[in-house]
């Protein structure tokens, strides 16, 4: 069993975070460790966090899951599975829906048995328009496999009395070989390479550590059911990159769209638009074209949490600050095992 990320204080509640091999789970674990005794487990990749070895959990192991929760006695369980990825970070291989549903059924049952509250993170990719904003009651007509899989496990958790949080998080990554969309954009702009973006793909991105603050509020207010925790603004990939460049003080950046429209191209110092060394972040594949409008309305969350959602500029300024204040390097030791 792994050690706590922070020393356990008598008054601290224990939180079990499952899925810290992804950037979302890792950021949540570190952010919440300042106020809870956090236990963190990875799903697939042997990892280390701040120099400490992180153990693994096996989704298929029902008895092992029971033993884990019984031994840890957490008051709160947070699950960041493969279906928590935002639409701009949609995985190349869609997770098996049956496996996720079965695991969530077991997790919800075990949490209830041992008196732990459960929060499960889900993706904004359950939507694909036609509305600009989607609230929790909006009908999802998306036929993308990621949306179909996410909707199935969401029902499982909400019916069991847990909290399902749809979101579109970004942050510094946990695994160096799998940078998130935001990191790919930052790296391309920092290196002075061209950055190809889709001006027609919209979402409501939120910094992972800002999301941790909202989850903490949700836990203290004992929220249950389905909620949207996301950024306050609907933005395209192009605007996200423009604001990111401003937050980091990067000038003369070159953003390309699939149509390579002149109005969206900014001159790149000492590079040409056709430089073969261009780094192009993953901005979507042909089969992901349905994920063009996944923006989340957050009115219900704002009312029940008693706070507003962060703006894009606020989140990106904190993202940039994390690159300077050492936060980003807390993930420097997370990598695939040899």
**How sure is the predictor about 268, in pLDDT bands with cuts at 50, 70 and 90?**
very low
Which of 188, 204, 206, 207 lies closest to 250 in space, CA to CA?
188
- 290 vs 45, more confident: 45
- 262 vs 244, more confident: 244
Long-range contacts of residues 111-115, Cβ cutoff 8 Å, at least 24 apart = 111/69, 111/77, 111/162, 112/160, 112/161, 113/66, 113/69, 114/69, 114/70, 114/73, 115/75
Q: How many CB atoms lie within 10 A of CB 318?
A: 17
**Measured distance CA(193)–CA(274) in Å, rounded:** 10
pLDDT value of residue 258? 58
Instruction: Please state the pTM of the whole predicted model.
Output: 0.86
For the cut 90, the answer to whether the pLDDT of residue 80 exceeds it is yes
Element (H, E) at 203: strand 202-203
pLDDT value of residue 91? 80
**pLDDT tens digits along 90-125:** 887 777 888 888 899 999 999 999 999 999 999 999
Look up residue 100 and give its two tokens.
């996720």
**Measured distance CA(13)–CA(3) in Å, rounded:** 15
Where residue 246 falls (left for φ over 0; alpha for ψ -120 to 50; beta otherwise) is alpha
For the cut 60, the answer to whether the pLDDT of residue 10 exceeds it is no
pLDDT value of residue 287? 42
pLDDT value of residue 259? 57
Radius of gyration for the alpha carbons in the chain, expressed in angstroms and rounded: 19
Element (H, E) at 315: helix 312-324
Q: How many CB atoms lie within 10 A of CB 181?
A: 25
Q: Which domains does the chain have, with CATH numbers?
A: 14-178+204-235+294-331 (3.40.50.720)
Element (H, E) at 118: strand 117-123
pLDDT value of residue 175? 63
- Identify the top-confidence range among 1-15, 37-51, 145-159, 264-278: 145-159
**Measured distance CA(17)–CA(72) in Å, rounded:** 11
Query: For 22-49, what is the mean pLDDT?
Result: 86
Question: Are the C-beta atoms of 158 and 108 separated by less than 8 Å?
Answer: no
**Measured distance CA(147)–CA(263) in Å, rounded:** 33
**Distances, alpha carbon 54 to alpha carbons 35, 39, 40, in Å:** 20, 9, 7
- 138 vs 274, more confident: 138
Question: Are the C-beta atoms of 214 and 159 separated by less than 8 Å?
Answer: no
């Amino acid at each position: 069993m792994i050690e706590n990320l922070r020393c356990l204080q008598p008054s601290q509640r224990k939180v079990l975070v499952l899925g810290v091999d992804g950037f979302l789970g890792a950021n949540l674990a570190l952010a919440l460790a300042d106020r809870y005794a956090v236990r963190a487990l990875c799903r697939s990749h042997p990892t280390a966090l701040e120099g400490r070895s992180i153990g693994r959990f096996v989704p298929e192991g029902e008895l092992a899951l029971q033993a884990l929760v019984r031994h840890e006695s957490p008051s709160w369980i947070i699950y960041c599975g493969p279906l928590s990825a935002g639409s701009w970070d949609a995985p190349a291989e869609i997770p098996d829906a049956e496996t996720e549903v079965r695991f969530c059924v077991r997790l919800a049952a075990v949490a209830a048995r041992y008196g732990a509250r459960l929060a499960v993170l889900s993706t904004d990719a359950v939507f694909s328009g036609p509305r600009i904003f989607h609230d929790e009651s909006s009908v999802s007509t998306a036929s993308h496999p990621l949306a179909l899989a996410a909707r199935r496990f969401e029902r499982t958790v909400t019916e069991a009395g847990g909290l399902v949080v749809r979101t579109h998080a970004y942050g510094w990554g946990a695994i160096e070989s799998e940078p998130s969309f935001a990191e790919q954009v930052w790296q391309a702009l920092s290196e002075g390479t061209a950055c190809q973006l889709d001006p027609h793909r919209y979402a409501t991105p939120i910094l992972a550590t800002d999301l941790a603050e909202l989850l903490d509020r949700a836990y203290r207010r004992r929220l249950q059911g389905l909620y949207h925790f996301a950024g306050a603004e609907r933005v395209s990939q192009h605007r996200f990159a423009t604001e990111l460049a401003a937050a980091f003080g990067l000038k003369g950046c070159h953003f390309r769209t699939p149509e390579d429209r002149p109005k969206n191209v900014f001159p790149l110092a000492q590079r040409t638009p056709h430089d073969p060394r261009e780094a192009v972040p993953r901005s979507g594949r042909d089969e992901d074209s349905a994920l063009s409008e996944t923006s989340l309305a957050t009115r219900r969350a704002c009312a029940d949490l008693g706070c507003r959602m962060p703006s894009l500029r606020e989140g990106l300024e904190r993202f940039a600050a994390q690159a300077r204040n050492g936060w980003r390097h807390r993930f420097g030791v997370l990598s695939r095992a040899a």
